[in-house]
Structure 1
């Protein structure tokens, strides 16, 4: 069977999005796994999102498979996933899509990439065959957006230039980020529509940071970390309540976040704040 590959950068046109949605529906597993979330569907219409899709058609112009890759944090590192129509699997379509991605990432000057899979044998085998090895796992959690009361002593405010130093300390302590990575985070989250970088104050002292991303799926909590010496004092829980209240005021339905599976302390905090597991995503690197 002959297949024809085509590349398209974000934002995608409506016809392509319709084709992708039909493909995703045909490939959706019976269990609770959101392929659209794995494929970064909420970024397809965003003019400021950095990403691309690679599409595989047959001679009848039927979309048989697709790969979606996105630079979510503006760090020139792309996260990608593949979906193939169930009737056309094991015919090399997925491999052809990934090979085309390799060329596209070179053209874009990417510094790295990560393949994403649900926690299933088929996805893992596919990535292993391409030379990718397991790196880590994240759970996507969700909570209902609702009006919440949170400590009046906690103030969540937008990032200001004078916060650059303390933000760097928080990001290094919480995620091991270097100063260059923090600088890119600041630029990306303060200049991109739908993103907001916030500082959290307690008694007029910065004690945490949290970024908010708004898209069609809901309000996402990202880059969230509390000063290590102050953890366990309810600051994280208060910020999560603030996020649910913020989403409610923005007329969003859900608050979502990703957390590493082995971060049991964070998982406990999120679950106590009313967040429940949605799905697990496994990350593979070459």
Structure 2
């Protein structure tokens, strides 16, 4: 078998994009898993400084048999990456070749860091650990369908600049974010046409916040916290009912959220609100 490897910077050319999409389709049919998100498909045509893809071809068959996408999501020269290998070519060294290409690409870019992301899978866990990576954490993607509901106990409205102090306190208490991080988040979301910060009020008091982002027919819950003084009062569950009703009104087909496996309280809350586990992502870092 004659193999050929190369690195391609974002944006991906049309021919390579077609080959990558064929690889995705082949693997999705075999594994019954959607790999587009994991392989950063929606970003392939973006001119993202530093982001790149490693590809390996079987020259005898003139066929793309493996790919690794390394994407600098936050533009800080730190890369989140995932790999995918054609079913008939797995565990014969293609994965190791892709990781070797990754290392070269990171060295060329003087990368500040990297993190491997994979669907929960024993074979990939072994490949990563054999290549010098250690498990870091996991997130479960949870799904719910929109559902109409009548909500009267809370008021949910878009964030405005005068909410910054209350938002900063809630983000620090809920996520450990310092004020500067909250300001940066608010500015980034304000610049995103499909993202929104929501403020939750009860009896004219700010009691919580949620951020959402839309992708086509999907509405993502990207952050969610209730002010410390108002927890354990049913506000969180009421807010999830509100967002399911909002999704109905705006004609979204699905609600998605990612929850860390080390946060059982959040997992339980979403389950009570009718969310079900869809898939688990595992994160690995260099030893």
Please state which band the TM-score falls in when normalised by the shorter chain.
Answer: 0.7 to 0.9
Correspondence 1:75-114 to 2 at 5 A = 77-105=78-106, 111-114=112-115
Instruction: Provide Cα deviations, 1:227-285, integer angstroms capped at 9, x if missing partner.
Output: 23322212212222222223223322100001111312111110111100101111112
2:217 touches 2:251 (CA, 8 Å); kept in 1? no
Higher mean C-alpha displacement, 132-141 vs 87-96: 87-96
CA distance in 2, matches of 1:108, 1:184: 26
Indicate the SS of the match to 2:37.
Answer: helix
Higher mean C-alpha displacement, 205-214 vs 28-37: 28-37
Higher mean C-alpha displacement, 22-31 vs 236-245: 22-31
Correspondence 1:66-215 to 2 at 5 A = 66-72=67-73, 77-105=78-106, 111-150=112-151, 152-215=152-215
CA distance in 1, matches of 2:160, 2:50: 25
CA distance in 2, matches of 1:252, 1:50: 34
2:156 touches 2:199 (CA, 8 Å); kept in 1? yes
Give the alignment's TM-score, normalised by structure 2. 0.84
Give the alignment's TM-score, normalised by structure 1. 0.84
Change in Cα spacing, 1:236 to 1:23, as seen in structure 2 (3 Å) is same
CA distance in 1, matches of 2:158, 2:73: 20
CA distance in 1, matches of 2:203, 2:106: 46
Q: Where does the alignment leave 5 or more consecutive residues of structure 1 unmatched? A: none
CA distance in 1, matches of 2:217, 2:14: 18
Higher mean C-alpha displacement, 208-217 vs 98-107: 98-107
Change in Cα spacing, 1:210 to 1:50, as seen in structure 2 (3 Å) is farther
1:67 touches 1:83 (CA, 8 Å); kept in 2? yes
2:48 touches 2:72 (CA, 8 Å); kept in 1? no
1:142 touches 1:257 (CA, 8 Å); kept in 2? yes
Considering only aligned residues, what root-mean-square deviation do their CA atoms show, in Å? 3.0
Change in Cα spacing, 1:202 to 1:16, as seen in structure 2 (3 Å) is farther
